[in-house]
Chain A
Amino acid sequence: MDLSAISPTLLVASLMVAATPILLAAIGELVVEKSGVLNLGVEGMMITGAFSGFAAAVLTGSPMVGFLCAAIGGAALSVIFAILTQYFLSNQVATGLALTLFGLGLSAMLGQSYVGIKPPVSAKLDLPLISDIPVIGPILFSHDFTVYAALTLVTGVWFFLKYTRGGLILRAVGESHDAAHALGYKVVRVRILAIMFGGGCAGLGGAALSLVRVPQWTEGMTAGAGWIALAIVVFASWKPARVLLGAYLFGGVAVLQLNLQAAGVSIPVEYLSMSPYLITIIVLVVMSTNRAKSALNAPAALGRVFHASR
């Protein structure tokens, strides 16, 4: 066992990459839930994005087209959910679960001929001099664009929710759809847009997995990342900064346990593999133990069906 082989700098640099898929999916789901919709289909939208992004990147040779198609693919799948829950008033939990199963099945079927292919490499930010600064360089200035896109998105969502009128309306709709309707806001329209944004983000998260992190296509490759994203949103009490923390924590433990495995620590691999899930959830649960306070943050209309004629 040789723990000195684990470099802290590389660890931090790689945890940012490892956390990005979950971070993207979670920040999207945060917006969806803030509008009062519970979409449990994150896993399905992620894997759909992972596949459509991979296929588009392979076919065109351009990773950027891949990411774009991943976002479109995730959003397209979420439109199914949006139509079913917002127009046909179906149960959000059941519809979300169905969406996950549908996404997993569809991507597995369409992706059969893509197994084993290598995707085009997505460019990394490589600034001369700056990227070569020891410690800071590898951590901050030598990632591919998804890492920065995810961080920008988190900041953008935080700013949007806190400071803009659109964000205020979105929170109002998630807080009480009846009151928002009485004031003349378009509850269904706001929610559909939020659901599509969530789908797009989940799709991007999937592509970050299949084009950057792995990078390869395998059936069911999201392996529960969508579920962890969902859990992070709840335990982060719907706050963007805490979502970031939760995702990086998960990524950190995931990378660390891989390093520990490589270093030959005498803990059974199964325990190491489950540790990111366990630790992330335990830390976030402890952080949100003040139940009265975190309940305040929960969108009051979360998961409730809205019917305008009332």
Chain B
Amino acid sequence: MSKTLLHLSGLTKAYPGVIANDDVSFDIGAGEIHALLGENGAGKSTLVKMIYGLVRPDHGTMLLAGDNFTPAEPRAARAAGVAMVFQHFSLFEALSVAENIALGMENPPKANALSTGITDVSQAYGLPLDPERLVGDLSAGERQRVEIIRCLLQKPKLLIMDEPTSVLTPQEVTTLFTTLRKLKADGTSILYISHKLEEIRTLCETATILRGGKKVATCDPREKSARELAEMMVGGTLNSAKLQKTTLGEVVLKVSDLSLPPQTAFGTSLKSISFQLHKGEVLGIGGVAGNGQDELLACLSGEVRTAADAIQLNGVSLGHMPPNTRRALGVLAAPEERLGHAAAPDMTLTENAMLTAMTRKNLSHSGFLDWPRAEAYAKLVIDQFDVRTPGPHSAARSLSGGNLQKFVIGREVLQDPEVLIVNQPTWGVDAAAAADIRQALLDLASRGAAVIVISQDLDELMEISTNFAALNAGRLSDARPMAELSLDEIGLLLGGADAAA
């Protein structure tokens, strides 16, 4: 039994209306990779924020290597040897790698010494990185390296990693795990937050599971099955989405030689994308964020206009049409960003329903809006998709991520699209809601619609796709039947030419 590095006892933190952490106690051993598991809203983030000094606990004590540990701010935590790699990277795009790293350090050395230090650490742990490059030009995996190196340069005793693999390709995950095992061998403790259970079973030796702010169990994840762990997280049994076997119909959507120059300074260009989509097909498009997912969705939905012939629906060219014209023809889309892109945060659900369903659901007559019908439609979405909300008068912002996502997807699905394009349909959504959303997409396909699912979650794509294609640096691979692909092949497709790195 290794000795304890961090001892947490009775940690409690309440926010108005919700108790984020309720009497949580557990120990992290020295040189241990400790998993922290839980659904969204289980209180994982609040807990690590307390350890990192961003949030102060209401009650409870923390002991770091036997000493009282009450960090008032992240600096204090860093000085005590606690470092954190954030889920949403805390990086500055317009600054260089070296500048970003200097910002995360207490006493950064001079520019030259820092560059040498970065190169040394990056070689020692197999994380190649050029200190002079702008972070805005880096891939998600490389950005994460910046964060990790920033932490390692301070020789932490405890490294906290918040959902580190959610944006990585399988090969990058392997590289990361090698690095983490090396760190563990050097005596660094790691608190690893994730809800990818298979990863935790391969990497971690202890797991603490939170549910509704309370600790449910501390166990050895290698002795439990993924299903047992999941059920401890959810506190019930899980259903996984079932694909009803359907034969593919004729081609509905044809995309040929679709190219797009970069739209912003750090944007990705699309390079000659071609594919065909059949009735009843679910085409899964995988790829790490920033490889052209948003751009592809924008081209298909009509936010960005392209050459007319690049996109054809049943032989009708619509590359030059704006979104509402496409909606009238049956091409609907749900973008990734729920608040601000898929839904207007401060408008009610009725108003949000009006915004995209106006054309297909006849919610306006000669320029006047038919609010009663819009409200009825919003209610229909809420009922059919089990959206937990007081009613259609609630503002979109007031819904939790999972509930709003169910509303956003439901709003499009119930418009009976011929083609539905969704980007990251279950990003940040808890397991139960994610299963519902996937089932809804599959049901839509089995009714004869064609669905494109753009996602970074490989498990999700493997579960629901009929065909799979990978997006890498703006190029789309050929679509291949999902059933014929192995995980390694998928990884190589995702990594493109960089797969060897």
Could you tell me which A residues sit within 8 Å of B by CB distance?
A: 165, 168-169, 171-172, 175-176, 178-180, 182-185, 292-293, 295-297, 300
The reply to whether A179 and B74 contact each other, CB–CB distance below 8 Å, is: no
> Chain B's nearest CB lies how many Å from the CB of A275?
33
Contact of B264 among A172, A182, A292 (CB under 8 A): A292
Tell me the minimal C-beta distance from B49 to chain A in angstroms.
9
Give A297 to B94 CA distance when docked, in angstroms.
7
Q: Is the CB of A179 within 8 A of B92?
A: yes
Whether B90 and A175, one on each chain, are in contact in the complex, defined by CB atoms closer than 8 angstroms, is no
A165 in contact with B108 (CB, 8 Å): yes
- Mark interface residues in B255-272 (1 if CB within 8 Å of A CB, else 0): 000000010110000000
Q: Is the CB of B74 within 8 A of A175?
A: no
- CB proximity to A under 8 Å, residues B60-99: 73-75, 78, 86, 89-95, 99
Least distance between A157 CB and chain B CB atoms (Å): 18
Do the beta carbons of A179 and B102 come within 8 Å of each other? Answer: no
Q: In the complex, what residues of B have CB within 8 A of residue A185's CB?
A: 103
Does chain A have a CB within 8 A of B380? no
| Chain A residues, CB < 8 A from B104 | 183
By the criterion CB–CB under 8 Å, are A171 and B262 in contact? no
A168-B99 in contact (CB<8A): yes
Distance in angstroms between the alpha carbons of A237 and B265 in the assembled complex: 14
The one of B74, B94, B95, B136 that contacts A183, using a Cβ cutoff of 8 Å: B74
User: What are 27 A-B contacts with C-beta separation under 8 Å?
Assistant: A168-B95, A169-B103, A171-B92, A171-B94, A172-B92, A172-B95, A175-B92, A175-B93, A176-B90, A176-B93, A178-B90, A179-B92, A180-B92, A180-B103, A182-B74, A182-B86, A183-B90, A184-B73, A184-B78, A185-B103, A292-B262, A293-B265, A295-B264, A295-B265, A296-B94, A296-B265, A300-B94
| Residues in chain B near residue A169, CB distance under 8 A | 103
Which of B78, B86, B94 is close to A175, meaning CB atoms less than 8 Å apart?
Answer: B94
B337 CB → nearest A CB, Å: 15
- B101 nearest CB across to chain A (Å): 11
Q: In this assembly, does B54 line the interface, its C-beta being within 8 Å of a C-beta of chain A?
A: yes
Give the docked Cα–Cα distance between A297 and B265 (Å): 10
Q: Assuming the A-B contacts A183-B90, A292-B262, are A175 and B95 also in contact, with contact meaning beta carbons closer than 8 angstroms in the complex?
A: yes
| Apart from the given pairs A176-B93, A295-B264, 16 other A-B contacts in the complex at a CB distance below 8 Å | A168-B95, A168-B103, A171-B94, A171-B95, A172-B95, A175-B93, A176-B92, A179-B90, A179-B91, A180-B103, A182-B54, A183-B74, A184-B73, A184-B75, A297-B94, A300-B94
- Across the interface, which residues of A come within 8 angstroms of B73, CB to CB? 184
Q: Assess the B103–A183 pair: CB atoms within 8 A.
A: yes
Contact B102 A165 (CB under 8 A): yes
Q: In the complex, A18 Cα to B353 Cα: how many Å?
A: 58
Judge if B280 is at the interface, Cβ distance under 8 Å: no
Residue of A nearest to B261 (CB): A292
Q: Does B53 contact A (CB under 8 A)?
A: yes
Identity of the chain B residue whose Cβ is nearest the Cβ of A176 in the assembled complex: B92
Residue on A with the closest CB to B76?
A184
Complex interface: chain B residues within 8 A of A183 (CB): 74, 90, 103-104
B88 to chain A, nearest CB (A): 8
Which residues on A sit within 8 Å (CB–CB) of B103?
Answer: 168-169, 172, 180, 183, 185
Residue of A nearest to B107 (CB): A165
Q: Secondary structure at chain A's binding surface: helix, strand, loop or mixed?
A: helix
Which chain B positions have C-beta within 8 A of A297?
Answer: 94
What B residues does A168 contact at CB under 8 A? Answer: 95, 99, 102-103
Give Cα A293–Cα B264 distance, bound, in whole angstroms: 9
Residues of B within 8 A of A296 (CB): 94, 136, 265
Q: Per-position contact with A for B282-321: 1 when CB-CB < 8 Å, else 0?
A: 0000000000000000000000000000000000000000
A292-B92 in contact (CB<8A): no
Whether the pair A292, B74 counts as a contact (CB closer than 8 A) is no
Contact with A along B117-140 (1 / 0, CB 8 A): 000000000000000000010000
Complex: A180 Cα to B86 Cα, angstroms:
12
A305 CB, min distance to chain B CBs, angstroms = 14
The 6 A-B pairs at the shortest CB distance, nearest first, are namely A184-B74, A179-B90, A175-B92, A182-B90, A292-B265, A184-B75
Residues of B within 8 A of A182 (CB): 54, 74, 86, 90
Q: How far is the CA of A180 from the CA of B89 in the complex (A)?
A: 11
How many angstroms between the C-alpha atoms of A183 and B78 in the bound complex?
10
CB distance from B166 to the nearest CB of A (A): 17
Q: Bound complex: CA of A171 vs CA of B96, how far in Å?
A: 12
Give the distance in Å from the alpha carbon of A179 to the alpha carbon of B85 in the complex: 12
Chain B residues whose CB sits within 8 angstroms of the CB of A179 once the complex forms: 89-92
- Least Cβ distance of A309 to chain B in Å? 9
Chain A nearest CB, measured from B248 CB (Å): 41
Give chain B nearest CB distance to A169 CB in angstroms.
7
- Closest chain-A Cβ to B65's Cβ sits at a distance in Å of 21
Q: Report the minimal beta-carbon distance from A308 to chain B, rounded to whole angstroms.
A: 10
CB distance from A89 to the nearest CB of B (A): 16
Alpha-carbon gap, A184 to B104, bound state (A): 9
Contacts of A292 in B (CB 8 A): 262, 264-265
Which of A171, A293, A297 is packed against the most chain B CB atoms within 10 Å?
A: A171
Q: How far is the CA of A183 from the CA of B92 in the complex (A)?
A: 11
Expressed in whole angstroms, the Cα–Cα distance for A183 and B76 within the complex equals 11
Residue in chain A with minimal CB distance to B92: A175
Interchain CA distance A178-B93 in the complex, whole Å: 13
* B95: A residues at CB distance < 8 A: 168, 171-172, 175
B84 CB to closest chain A CB (Å) equals 9
- Minimum distance in angstroms from B71 CB to a CB of chain A: 10
User: How far apart are the CA atoms of A172 and B96 in the complex, in Å?
Assistant: 11
Chain A neighbourhood of B90, CB < 8 A: 176, 178-179, 182-183
CA distance A180 to B73 in the complex (A): 13
Tell me the smallest distance from the CB of A127 to a CB of chain B, in Å: 38
Which residue from chain A places its CB closest to the CB of B55 in the assembled complex?
A: A309
* Set of chain A residues within 8 Å of B99, measured between Cβ atoms: 168, 172
Q: Chain A contacts of B78 at CB under 8 A?
A: 184
By beta carbon, the residue of chain A nearest B84 is A182
- A168, A175, A184: residue with the most chain B Cβ atoms closer than 10 Å: A184
Q: Are A300 and B93 in contact (CB under 8 A)?
A: yes
Q: How many angstroms from the CA of A53 to the CA of B99 in the assembled complex? A: 40
Tell me the complex Cα distance, A125–B26, Å. Answer: 72
* A180→B78 CA distance, assembly (Å): 15
Best-buried of B54, B78, B92, B93 by chain A (most CB within 10 Å) = B92
CA of A172 to CA of B93, assembled, Å: 10
Tell me the bound Cα distance from A300 to B73 in angstroms: 25
Give B402-427 as 1s and 0s: 1 = Cβ < 8 Å from A's Cβ atoms.
00000000000000000000000000
Closest-by-CB residue of B relative to A178 is B90
B108: nearest chain-A partner, CB-CB: A165
Q: Tell me the bound Cα distance from A182 to B90 in angstroms.
A: 7
The CA of A307 and the CA of B103, in the complex, are separated in Å by 21
Please give me the residue from chain B that is nearest to A184 by CB atom. Answer: B74
Q: Could you say which residues of chain A place their CB within 8 Å of the CB of B91?
A: 176, 179
Expressed in whole angstroms, the Cα–Cα distance for A298 and B236 within the complex equals 50
Distance in angstroms from A166 CB to nearest chain B CB is: 12
Cβ–Cβ < 8 Å partners of B75 in chain A: 184
Tell me the smallest distance from the CB of A73 to a CB of chain B, in Å: 34
